């Protein structure tokens, strides 16, 4: 081949490499960027006075005097709204039954919306459900509710050839000519005074229990559950995996049975995780009865089975890569095979083994399917260590799925969902960074 052609090919090849890496980075940014932005809204947002009231009443945070003065300010701003409603209700009393019926439904809807925005009306009994005890705690949600107050959603079907189009009709039209008419412009202009949004950094999102099924509060039970499950899986999978790898690499030799075993392990690594989930239910819970129903223990065992092949393969590779000269040196000094493996081979293979372990820990933390049937529930309290033997737990991956698909007020808690996604990504990312750092450190130590 000509020198020129060869050089051109070389360049083309390295160019291709750079392009593919750039593509990868772009994809990562495109995928992770929005998640970071949206997830951060669980931590950083504009909290309203309702948020501060919630924090004070439910978590005992904040100062009572400042909260009370702020509440008083907000109440002053809200008073005209309640006055106007009271006046309108007075007005209704003077009307005929038919007229009253005309307004009743519209007024009830308006009052519901205002309750959602500002919390229960003053002087009423405190509602039982926590989400009804408070108005909008977040300014971004409050703006949506204000919009709902001001506009009625309806569909325009005038063009029969097309699907209906969504139109927002001003709600004020329904009440045109009544004493409540000015309420709408008042809400529009005085929303800030009524709710007093302020920049809030809610880092305790990570460490708070949630209230009323994630309507308020944080994700600590989910985080803790994820940690329990991942650590539990490690407790079972690491000793088993490393010992298996040691056996395969150092003792098993190259027989047909052994190569068949290796094929099995590789195949196991490729089995869909939902299969492991069902296996965990059928085997650990229904057959072995490690717990009477879902539990962290059963989930950990299932995850351990899932990541075992990965750990075995990574560890075996690492052990095989240890130069034979180390083994020879130890054996020539009179070390037994086991002793050689434990004191020389395994330490030298440690960077690779640990990398495999930490990466599969990330996998265990992020898997959803294996824990659906074996460990996960949608709402729960943080467990004590001994409770993990018998009790199920919420966990990040499962609750992300659950909030997205099954939660009644799914739209109102999108920020919680994204917060969970972000947290999970950060946990896995953190584990991977730990793996890289650990590997670098140990390799440096081994290389001197």
Partner 1 sequence: MIGVSIHNSVTDRSSNTALEDNGPFETHIRAEAFSVLYGSSEAVKQVTCEIPAGQVTAIIGPSGCGKSTLLRAVNRMNDLIPGCSTRGRLLLDGENVYGPRIDVVELRRRVGMVFQKPNPFPKSVFDNVAYGPRLHGNHGRRRLHEIVERSLTRAALWDEVKDRLSDNALRLSGGQQQRLCIARALAVDPDVLLMDEPTSALDPRATTRIEDLIRELRGRYTIMIVTHNMQQAARVSDYTGFLYEGELVEFDVTKHLFTKPRQKQTEDYITGRFG
* Residue 328 makes contact with partner 1 by CB under 8 A: yes
Contact track, partner 1, 251-280, x by CB under 8 A: --x---------------------------
| Smallest distance from partner 1 to CB 252, Å | 12
Contact track, partner 1, 129-168, x by CB under 8 A: ----------------------------------------
Stretch binding partner 1 (CB under 8 A), from 71-79, 117-125, 192-200, 331-339: 331-339
* Residue 334 makes contact with partner 1 by CB under 8 A: yes
SS (H, E, C) the chain: CCHHHHHHHHHHHHHHHHHHHHHHHHHHHHHHHHHHHHHHCCCEEEECHHHHHHHHHHHCCCCHHHHHHHHHHHHHHHHHHHHHHHHHHHHHHCCCHHHHHHHHHHHHHHHHHHHHHHCCCCCCCCCCCHHHHCCCCEHHHHHHHHHHHHEEEEEECCCCCCCCEEEEEEHHHHHCCCCCCHHHHHHHHHHHHHHCCEEEECHHHHCCCEECCCCEECCHHHHHHHHHHHHHHHHHHHHHHHHHHHHHHHHCCCCHHHHHHHHHHHHHHCCCHHHHHHHHHHHHHCCCCCCCCCCHHHHHHHHHHHHHHHHHHHHHHHHHCCCHHHHHHHHHCCCCHHHHHHHHHHHHHHHHHHHHHHHHHHHHHHCCHHHHCCCECCCCCCCCHHHHHCCCECCHHHHHHHHHHCCCCHHHHHHHHHHHHHHHHHHHHHHHHHHHHHHHHHHHHHHC
Q: Which of 200-236 are b and which e, b meaning 16 or more Cβ less than 10 Å from the residue's Cβ? A: bebeebbebbbbbbbbbbbbbbbbbbbebbbebbbeb
Q: Residues binding partner 1: what is the number (CB under 8 A)?
A: 23
Distance of CA 159 to the CA centre of its chain: 43
Stretch binding partner 1 (CB under 8 A), from 13-21, 93-101, 234-242, 336-344: 336-344
Residue from 131, 240, 326, 379 in contact with partner 1 (CB under 8 A): 326
Stretch binding partner 1 (CB under 8 A), from 120-128, 220-228, 425-433, 439-447: 439-447
Residue numbers 183-242 binding partner 1 by CB under 8 A: none
| Smallest distance from partner 1 to CB 331, Å | 7
* Residue 64 makes contact with partner 1 by CB under 8 A: no
* Residue 321 makes contact with partner 1 by CB under 8 A: no
Residue from 211, 290, 331, 425 in contact with partner 1 (CB under 8 A): 331
Nearer to partner 1, 138 or 327 (CB): 327
Residue from 60, 93, 199, 447 in contact with partner 1 (CB under 8 A): 447
Nearer to partner 1, 256 or 384 (CB): 256
Sequence-distant (≥ 6) Cβ neighbours of residue 269 within 8 angstroms: 309, 310, 313
Residue from 4, 94, 177, 448 in contact with partner 1 (CB under 8 A): 448
* Residue 445 makes contact with partner 1 by CB under 8 A: yes
Residue numbers 340-369 binding partner 1 by CB under 8 A: 343-344, 347-348
| Smallest distance from partner 1 to CB 345, Å | 10
Report the alpha-carbon distance of residue 405 to residue 215 in Å, rounded. Answer: 15
* Residue 335 makes contact with partner 1 by CB under 8 A: yes
Stretch binding partner 1 (CB under 8 A), from 259-267, 298-306, 335-343, 367-375: 335-343
The pair of three-digit structure tokens given for residue 440, joined into one six-digit string: 């670098």
Nearer to partner 1, 433 or 446 (CB): 446
Nearer to partner 1, 345 or 431 (CB): 345
| Smallest distance from partner 1 to CB 258, Å | 13
* Residue 323 makes contact with partner 1 by CB under 8 A: yes
* Residue 330 makes contact with partner 1 by CB under 8 A: yes
* Residue 333 makes contact with partner 1 by CB under 8 A: yes
Report the alpha-carbon distance of residue 125 to residue 193 in Å, rounded. Answer: 24
* Residue 247 makes contact with partner 1 by CB under 8 A: no
Nearer to partner 1, 59 or 326 (CB): 326
Contacting positions for partner 1 (CB under 8 A) = 253, 323, 325-336, 339, 343-344, 347-348, 445-448
């Amino acid at each position: 081949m000509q020198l020129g052609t060869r050089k051109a090919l070389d360049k083309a090849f390295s160019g291709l490499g750079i392009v593919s890496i750039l593509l990868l980075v772009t994809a990562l940014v495109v995928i992770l960027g929005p998640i970071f932005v949206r997830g951060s809204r669980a931590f950083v947002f504009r909290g309203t006075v309702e948020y501060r009231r919630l924090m004070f009443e439910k978590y005992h945070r904040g100062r009572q005097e400042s909260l009370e003065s702020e509440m008083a300010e907000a109440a002053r701003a809200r008073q005209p709204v309640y006055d106007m409603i009271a006046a309108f209700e007075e007005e209704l009393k003077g009307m005929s039954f038919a007229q009253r019926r005309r307004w009743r439904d519209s007024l009830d809807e308006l009052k519901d919306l205002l309750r959602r925005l500002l919390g229960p009306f003053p002087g009423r009994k405190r509602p039982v459900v926590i989400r009804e005890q408070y108005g909008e705690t977040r300014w971004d949600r409050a703006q949506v509710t204000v919009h709902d107050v001001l506009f009625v959603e309806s569909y325009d079907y005038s063009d029969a050839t097309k699907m209906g189009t969504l139109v927002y009709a001003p709600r004020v039209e329904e009440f045109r000519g009544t004493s409540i008419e000015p309420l709408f412009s008042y809400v529009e202009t005085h929303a800030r005074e009524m709710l007093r949004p302020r920049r809030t950094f809610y880092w305790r999102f990570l460490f708070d229990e949630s209230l009323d099924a994630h309507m308020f509060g944080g994700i600590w039970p989910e985080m803790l559950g994820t940690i329990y499950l991942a650590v539990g899986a490690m407790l079972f999978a690491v000793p088993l995996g490393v010992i298996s790898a040691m056996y395969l690499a150092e003792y098993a030799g190259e027989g047909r049975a052994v190569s068949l075993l290796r094929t099995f392990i590789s195949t196991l690594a490729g089995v869909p995780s939902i299969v492991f989930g069902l296996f965990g239910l059928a085997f650990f819970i229904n057959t072995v009865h490690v717990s009477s129903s879902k539990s962290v223990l059963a989930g950990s065992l299932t995850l351990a089975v899932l990541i075992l092949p990965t750990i075995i393969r990574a560890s075996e590779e690492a052990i095989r890569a240890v130069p034979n000269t180390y083994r020879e040196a130890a054996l020539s000094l009179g070390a037994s095979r086991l002793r050689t493996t434990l004191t020389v081979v395994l330490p030298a293979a440690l960077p690779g083994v640990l990398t495999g372990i930490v990466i599969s820990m990330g996998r265990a933390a992020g898997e959803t399917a294996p824990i659906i049937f074996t460990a996960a529930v949608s709402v729960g309290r943080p467990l004590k260590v001994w409770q993990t033997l018998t009790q199920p737990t919420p966990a990040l991956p499962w609750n992300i799925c659950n909030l997205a698909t099954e939660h009644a007020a799914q739209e109102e808690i999108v920020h919680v969902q994204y917060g969970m996604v972000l947290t999970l990504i950060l946990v896995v990312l953190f584990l991977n960074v730990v793996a890289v750092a650990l590997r670098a450190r140990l390799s440096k130590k081994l290389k001197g």
